[in-house]
Amino acid sequence: MRFLDRGGVRLAWTEEGSGVPILLIMGHRYSSGMWYPLKEAMGDRYHLISFDNRGTGQSDAPRRTSVEEMTADALAVLDAAGVETAHVYGVSMGGGIALEFGLRYPERVRSLILGCTMAKTADVKRRPDWLIRLLYHAMPVLKLLAKPKFKNGYGDAAPDDRIARDMAVLEKDPFVLHGVIAQGLAVSAYSVNPDEVRALKLPTLVLHGTQDLLVPYAAGKALAEMIPGARLVTFQDIGHNYFIGAGEQANAETEAFIAEVEAARAAG
């Protein structure tokens, strides 16, 4: 793991492999270690650049942040890796950051790959700060009381052995509670201008499961319809973490998409 300083906040990042560069942006609460299914499958064929969002992994955990701030973190990591342009792949909150990255720094983006995410516009109701903080502190109790649905959110089609492995990895995945709360507040406060999204001129792949309990499938479909020329890939009976239940299909679609974009770039 390497480290960089951005405005007094230490960010942990890493890179592996060689070839076409992909900047990986993880979602809420998860560190970059949770990219393990993709890294295991694709790490020998691509230059994978990933980092721990502030509040997770080995990065610092400020008590306040914003999606714009985390987007600037992603740019700083790309700069630290010495990469001029990359395919920018984000999931969940990381998908929102990737979308913001494409809007702010389109000259640094070869394509956008947006997984289990949405375009959070101003009409999406914002949760009060006190409710977000309460939910985080009450989460252990809520998990005990909640009835499992769609195999605990992984989706009915997700294999049990992969779910068990992912839950074991997640249990050891480090985070700082106040840093993760800061992430949640940042997402709650953030919104994107739909007109700017509709004006995007970047090749875009949208990946989403039909049993996503955190970001409804309809929101992923709406995102794909909003971005000109975006391609939507649907994972039937798969939940939010589609890497677990549909990893092979997701990776195959991603690699085919990247190959098309790279071929178009080479053709000029």
Note the pLDDT of residue 148: 73
Note the pLDDT of residue 197: 97
Q: What is the mean pLDDT of residues 28-35?
A: 96
User: Which pair of structure tokens corresponds to residue 44?
Assistant: 């020998």
Q: Number of helices and strands (H, E) in the chain?
A: 9, 8
pTM of the model: 0.95
Q: What is the pLDDT of residues 150-197, one digit of tens each?
A: 898 999 999 999 999 999 999 999 999 999 999 999 999 999 999 999
Indicate whether 206 pLDDT > 70: yes
The values of phi and psi at residue 100, to 5°, are: -60, -40
Indicate whether 144 pLDDT > 60: no
Cβ of 3: how many Cβ atoms within 10 Å?
Answer: 14
Q: What is the mean pLDDT of residues 25-53?
A: 97
| Residue keyed to tokens 């959110």 | 153
Kindly give the residue spans of alpha helices, DSSP state H, lying in 34-159. 36-42, 67-80, 93-104, 129-145
What CA–CA distances, in Å, run from 98 to 93, 114, 164, 166, 167? 9, 7, 29, 24, 25
CA distance 185 to 172: 24
Q: What is the pLDDT of residues 216-244, one digit of tens each?
A: 999 999 999 999 999 999 999 999 999 99
Give the mean pLDDT of the chain.
Answer: 93
Scored b (16 or more CB within 10 A) or e, 126-154 reads: eeeeeebeeebeeeeeeeeeeeeebbbbb
Helix axes 177-189, 129-145, angle to 10 degrees: 120
Entry field: residues in the chain:
268
